[in-house]
Structure 1
Amino acid sequence: MYDVFIGPFVEFEFMRRALVGAIALSLGGAPVGVFLMLRRMSLMGDAMAHAILPGAAAGYLLFGLALVPMTMGGIAAGFAVALTAGLVARFTMLKEDASLAAFYLISLALGVIIVSMRGSNVDLFRVLFGSVLALDDPTLYLLAGITTVTLVALALLWRPLVLDSVDPGFLRSVSRSGAPSHLVFLGLVVLNLVAGFHALGTLLAVGLMMLPAIAARFWGRDVTSLAAIAVGFGIASGYAGLVLSYNMETPSGPSIVLMAGVVYLVSLVFGPHGGLVPTYWPARHREA
């Protein structure tokens, strides 16, 4: 048991770094995922995860696998796509989800082409699926910084974000903080997707953001408990995915997201708030 569940993290520094990275992504990304879910913007997270790829790829094309250029390029591309999609939705007949879908497909194709212009298939695989086992100190500092900014921003804007998620009309009637808090929230989405990109790649960056948040919906009722449960699910998924990856020699990023998917499926079946078993096969004492 020790060799399977504890030994890898004691013996190998890269496993400890990967676990710290997964914890940081869960602490920052899972609460953001809860708000995306409550706002019915879950698919926006996936679209935005692909939207950052051209900017990160441009940084890679110019400077190689350098942390700062790829990060800044990803942030710039994410904000550009978010703003452009919003403008298209406002001034044309397209809805925002359709506009985001269009830009997401364009961004993914463009990013892959840019990476292919300079890099090898190994570099392309790293950009698409991440390298959580290769996290170095600067990348961990970046993840920790983004997590800190996210938690501080959520603490300061918690009330307007909650109101804007459950009753935006009431928030508009009593305060003007709805629009600014929404813009800050979009910024947090982009930042956490960029953090996820460095660890899990553009195709899986949204995994630790959305899957734990969706799974938490079957276990909690209020927003605070949903966020706490989602963070716990995210950390557990990161640990379980790394254990699976080490012992079964599977890719680490997909293994982490797969474990988050297992948590979701278990929650879907057994979760006390809307799970299949409690809903359609209630306890016998309730039938009495």
Structure 2
Amino acid sequence: MIDIVTAVFDFTDYGELLLLVRNSIIAGAVLGIVGGLIGPFVMSRDLAFAVHGISELSFAGAAAALLLGVNVVAGSIGGSLLAALIIGLLGNRARERNSIVGVMMPFGLGLGILFLALYEGRAANKFGLLTGQIVSVDNPQLGLLLTIGAIVVVGLVVMWRPLTFSSVDPDVARARAVPVTAISITFMVLLGLATAISIQIVGALLVLALLVTPAAAAMRVTASPLITPILSVVFAVVSVVGGIMLSLGGALPISPFVTTISFTIYLVCRLIGWQRDRSGASGRRVSTKPVAA
């Protein structure tokens, strides 16, 4: 077992390696904040499956940009926004939305694979679009990621209250003159942007580990509308930044580390929630027993 760990991890010259991925660590922290804030809304609006659909078209856009020799982040954003608008405009109901996503996923994945097959450049660039990279964030990309991340965060903060209201009970929100449709489309655009920038770090196949799992973990231990996004942000930042720092000493891509940390946090939170529910149920059973005279 020790030999296997030694073969996978090598922390020689770790300090120098940290300097090389400084931009990626900053980008990972920003993505953790973005994913942690938007994740609870993804869960409450039942959009986990939609995130995967958006990521597939985002992957196709990034692969097309790679093939054409243009900005990969821009291509990823274009694919994400196209998918988000299609889902937002056509998928008003959960059944319709799932059908649309189910159609888009294989189409986007097929296009992406086609573009990568036609691409004759470095194989690492192809692999990175699917599983993420840690050394590919240069200064211009970091600036673009920071800008898009700021747009998503500001957009969420501005529409936080009506978005929360429409997520919990859209019918009542519509009756109270809340623009539910406009909010839904705007949120899908923000989700598309968040998905596009997340792919640059964790890859198209594992974006759910950043936009869904941290929020799902937080919702297992609290129902507070204030504490849930805070915990979700903490879990997401720990997963991404921790995954980047672990991957520096490993011979594996970043994604296995990010997903393992994220899944471990979810398991711990689920156990905590299960224990709390069990204790609460035991307390209710004791309280209902008649008191002896």
TM bracket, shorter-chain basis: 0.7 to 0.9
C-alpha displacement of 1:192 = 0.7
CA contact (8 A) 2:88 2:184 kept: no
The 3-state SS of whatever aligns with 2:222 is coil
> Is the CA contact (8 Å cut-off) linking 2:84 and 2:192 kept in structure 1?
no
Q: Are positions 1:230 and 2:229 aligned together?
A: no
Number of the residue aligned with 2:175: 173
What's the CA shift for 1:99? 1.8
| TM-score normalized by the length of structure 2 | 0.84
TM-superposed deviation, 1:74 = 2.3
Question: Per-residue displacement from partner, 1:106-164 (whole Å, max 9, x unpaired)?
Answer: 10111011111013532221111121233111121122111211111111101110001
Unmatched tracts of structure 1, length 5 or more: none
Q: 1:236 to 1:85 in 2, by over 3 A?
A: closer
Deviations 1:19-70 (A, max 9, x none): 211110011122111101011111111111112122222111111xx43xx2
1:96 aligned onto 2:88? no
Deviation at 1:14, TM superposition (A): 2.5
Q: Where in structure 2 are there 5+ consecutive unaligned residues?
A: 1-9, 288-293
Distance in 1, matches of 2:218 and 2:186, equals 24
TM-score, normalisation: structure 1? 0.85
- Alignment match, 1:245: 247
Who is 1:24 aligned against? Answer: 30
What's the offset of the Cα at 1:219? 2.3
**CA shift at 1:251, angstroms?**
1.7
- Distance of 2:14 and 2:27 partners within structure 1: 16
Residue of 145, 164, 167 corresponding to 1:143: 145
- For the pair shown, which has the larger CA radius of gyration, 1 or 2? 2
- In structure 2, the partner of 1:201 is 203
Counterpart of 1:58 (choices 55, 64, 68) is 64
Give the equivalent residue in structure 2 for 1:121: 123
Distance in 2, matches of 1:231 and 1:9, equals 26
Mapped to 1, the partners of 2:203 and 2:169 lie a distance apart of 34
Distance (whole Å) between structure 2 residues aligned to residue 237 and residue 89 of structure 1: 31
CA distance in 2, matches of 1:98, 1:161: 24
- State the superposition RMSD in angstroms: 2.7
Do the aligned partners of 1:131 and 1:199 also contact (CA within 8 Å) in 2? Answer: yes
**Distance across 2 between alignment mates of 1:185 and 1:38:** 13
Greater RCO structure (CA 8 Å; 6+ sep): 2
Once the two structures are TM-superposed, the CA of residue 71 in structure 1 deviates from its matched residue by: 2.7
Q: Please give the secondary structure, in 2, of the residue aligned with 1:47.
A: helix
Deviates more, 1:37-46 or 1:126-135: 126-135
Aligned length: 274
Deviation at 1:256, TM superposition (A): 1.4
C-alpha contact 2:202 2:255 (8 A) present in aligned 1: yes
